[in-house]
Structure 1
Amino acid sequence: MRLDHARRAVVRNLLSAAALTVAPSLPASADAPPTYSLKGLAGALTGADAPRPADQLGVIGRGQNRDKSGRLNSCPADKKGCISTFSQFDEESYVPPWTYQPGFSTQATSPNDARRAALRAEVGAAAVEAGETKPAPKSREVAERELRAAIEAAAGRIVETGDRYLYAEFEAGGGAVDDVEFLFSLDTPIVGYRSAPRRGADDKRQRNRIKELRKALKEDGWKSVGRIVE
């Protein structure tokens, strides 16, 4: 009897040791539900952490001596939400450029338009003879200052200016970042522009911002010129 009792005690001890080896106790925190961090996810979706698209920004086609007007990029077919005055007229991304010169028009003239222009010229000549002064045309430097002021008033951050070019970043809700560029023409009082979300495809946001900027500049004589007639 004593031998059997001793054997049973040995077996119980062996089983207890085996149980501890096979199924070790888990820390108390293992029973807690898993947690997930959204850090970085919002930025990935909105473009807040995206680098500047260097391959899409800047002026092209100025010529070796920078004696040509140049142009901004158009919008790639797969870049939804982008708008540009340098896209083709029949593309959805096309938007008309602006002029900063009051009275300037790129539209084709009809005989009636030509007659009205001649009459305005006659009135202007008469005013000069009477000693009245006609406002001088606005310089590009003045127009550039007006545009910078409008961008800053709209909470845009100007990144680069110079050589008829202006580039600004705008932050939208959720940290979204939009890249907006402007290019002043070399020979005419025309300003082209391009606006694109760094990530996403929010076309409406780009168009609304451009519209609000143009409205803010209206008092300074800025307006959309429509499609340019070649």
Structure 2
Amino acid sequence: MKSQMRFQILSTYSKTSGYIVAGLLLLLTLFAACSGQGSSPGKGVAENELEVVEKTDAYGNTERFTRRLDNYAKEGKYSKMSPEGNLLETAEFYNDSLNGARVIYYENGDTQIVEHYEGGTFAGPYQAYYEGGQLELEGSYTANSMEGTWKRYYPSGQLMEEVSFQDNQENGPFVEYHENGKLKAEGYYKEGDNEHGLLKIYDETGELVKTMNCQHGVCRTVWEKEGATD
């Protein structure tokens, strides 16, 4: 089973589980082009050493931020508003780098992504939401690397899958669920979305219908329930 974990809010999330990493790397790339905002000064920076900047980007969005007078480095809060006046993004900067929470919003005002940074790199919790407010994805970063257990949910709120990450790749056990909450698949990923070892497949009642032996993404059926269909 290829992981559904990789996130789809960007149309980058190609191969099903090439999903999160590709999407999040694109977010980093896109944000490097973004300006910052603010009204509060940065750490150790006096208010009289800052200026407020407001400008319009190529799409008509208004960006507002504070920056240092000596080197124009962004300090403090950043915001972006649509031409219609809807809040699209908020963030915090320190010494021209993202530092703290960054929130991206849907056009209707619902929260789309909440992520955290330290010195311009991902650090700490990450959450993504369906339009309407239901949590879709959650996990955590350590020093710009996806680590530990990441979870993805159906729009109904039911858990869809849990995948272990190490060094920004799927590494370790994973579990998938049908939307009714019954077990769908369980196995182990190695160095990305490559099934490795024993893979078990279950039907919508939670009954085991197939087992497979996998070697770095290549799987061979070793048992299948009579009459079972994929």
Q: TM-score range by the shorter chain?
A: under 0.3
- Name the one with the larger helix percent: 1
- Name the one with the larger strand percent: 2
TM-score (norm: length of structure 1): 0.24
TM-score (norm: length of structure 2): 0.24
